[in-house]
Amino acid sequence: MSDNKFVKKIACIGAGYVGGPTMTVIANFCPDYQVTVLDISQERIDQWNSDDLPIFEPGLKERVLKARGQNLFFSTDIGRCIDEADIIFVAVNTPTKTFGEGAGKAVDLQYIEQTARRIKENSKSDKIIVEKSTIPVRAAETLSKILHSGNNSIHFEILSNPEFMAEGTGIHDMENPDRILIGSMGTPSGQAARDELIKIYERWVPPEKLITTNLWSSELSKLVSNAFLAQRISSINSISGLCEVTEADVDEVARAVGKDSRIGPKFLRAGVGFGGSCFRKDILNLVYLCEHFGLQPVADFWGQVIAMNDYQMERFVQRMLKAMFNSVVNKKIALFGFAFKPDTGDTRDSPAIYVSKMLLKERARLYITDPHALKNAQRDLEGMEGEIVYEPDPYKAAEGAHAIALMTEWDQYKNLDYKRIFDSMEKPAFLFDGRNHLDHQALFDLGFNVHSIGKPDRTQFDDPS
């Protein structure tokens, strides 16, 4: 299939947060492979071909510019590129189903199925199909049935190669992965396909980090990884409430607990709750699978991770209300940050969406600031009743406000002139730190009433009790 210039041709279907960056990294490390990223959205592809990339990710733009037009291409010519490709990555979205059987839990596999049908229709030679999207365990079986249906003599070898990168550190994670997981069938053609994929990754990934398993273990490991990560966050968040009423400090508890090498320090940062496009969706998927296989207690166990996250967001708003004399009607509240985490403009399932909606229901006036996520914030809150202003300048967002609620731990929020901010605010001035990101003692000393996660409140009022 490949012409002389390139050893192999890779196509990736889905030019989103995963498809775009992963293929850019592969193109950078494999200049002898032609890599084409495909999407049904012309707008997305046009953005990938412009100076204004569709997603913000540190380090991404330089790497795209280095390879684009050399061995990295972005295109909507899906049929032709499928036909020419030796290896096809599938990185389309797999959202939670919003309708019919399994609504609110199961994965909506329509984009995966459409992709499989498109591959089948346009292939005239054998191909390796790589599942990059996160999908339910045994999805490869469905994929294989669709691809091999009818009297088609073409062979498609399916591999599972889940992506473990986190947004904001995506490029670093892909260039220095903890592991690359490849699941394949135990057949000779399965092993050969696996070796083809290893040839790509071994350009930059040390051999001990290349893990191979059977297909189903690989598919399931992705769901389980996200479930374990989210479970740690819900565990520490569950303890934060207890800290607030006992004068323990959740950061100190997390440090003490995390020092046990069997537990480790990562993913123990208490906060307003986890967000992002995957944790909730993947755990719901796990819950659905467990229910499907009659494992109700297991489904209930993982369901609690989400229940705790919902409770944490709700509790945050309740604390705001309580601190602000049980009413925020007409009060101006500045939301510092809207992205679900720093260094990304992504707001999917961001706790800021939940908090904003609750505050708007309580009739607060919202001034939202974020260095990269204001466009997405506007889309997320479209149609909501009430006053919402999107303000790039945090000083202006806080001017005249009764409270600041920090939703995203952007670095720049640490270094703001909080004296200037305090002076410009209504008094009493409140600061709710949903990420335990700021210097609470310094803010208290400036005159703020500071409420953070899992720490005693620091208020300027005399306690009458």
CA pseudo-torsion sign 336, 342, 343, 348: negative
Query: Least CB distance from residue 308 to ligand UGA, whole Å?
Result: 12
Q: Angle at which helices 215-246 and 139-147 pack, to 10 degrees?
A: 140
| Residue 278 known to be catalytic | yes
In order of 48, 70, 274, 419, 425, the CA distances from 66 in angstroms are 13, 8, 34, 43, 46
Q: Which CB, 178 or 423, lies closer to ligand UGA?
A: 178
- Which stretch in 28-36, 160-168, 298-306, 419-427 sits in contact with ligand NAD by CB under 6 A? 160-168
Half-sphere exposure of 85 (CA within 13 A, CB side): 28
The answer to whether residue 13 forms part of the interface with ligand NAD (CB under 6 A) is: yes
State the binding partner of 47 from ligand NAD, ligand UGA, none, CB within 5 to 8 A by kind: none
Q: Which CB, 54 or 276, lies closer to ligand UGA?
A: 276
Token pair, residue 430, equals: 């409140």
| Strands 33-38 and 8-13, bridge-based pairing | parallel
Q: Give phi and psi for 97, each to the nearest 5.
A: -65, 140
The answer to whether residue 277 forms part of the interface with ligand NAD (CB under 6 A) is: yes
| Strands 33-38 and 72-75, bridge-based pairing | parallel
Q: Of 187, 267, 195, give the one whose Cα is nearest residue 229.
A: 267
State the binding partner of 284 from ligand NAD, ligand UGA, none, CB within 5 to 8 A by kind: none
- Which stretch in 111-119, 185-193, 291-299, 320-328 sits in contact with ligand NAD by CB under 6 A? 111-119
Query: Least CB distance from residue 13 to ligand NAD, whole Å?
Result: 5
Q: Which CB, 142 or 225, lies closer to ligand UGA?
A: 225
Catalytic residue among 12, 81, 243, 278: 278
Residues that bind ligand UGA (CB under 6 A): 134, 163-167, 226, 229, 233, 267-269, 271, 274-276, 278-279, 340-341
Question: In this structure, are residues 312 and 273 in contact, taking their beta carbons and an 8 Å threshold?
Answer: yes
State the binding partner of 13 from ligand UGA, ligand NAD, none, CB within 5 to 8 A by kind: ligand NAD
What letter would DSSP give residue 107?
B
The answer to whether residue 11 forms part of the interface with ligand NAD (CB under 6 A) is: no
Query: Least CB distance from residue 47 to ligand NAD, whole Å?
Result: 10
Q: In what order do the strands lie in the sheet with 72-75?
A: 72-75, 33-38, 8-13, 87-90, 127-131, 156-160, 180-184, 210-214
- Active-site residue numbers? 278
Binding site for ligand NAD (CB under 6 A): 13-19, 38-41, 44, 91-94, 111, 114-115, 133-134, 163, 165, 167, 277-278
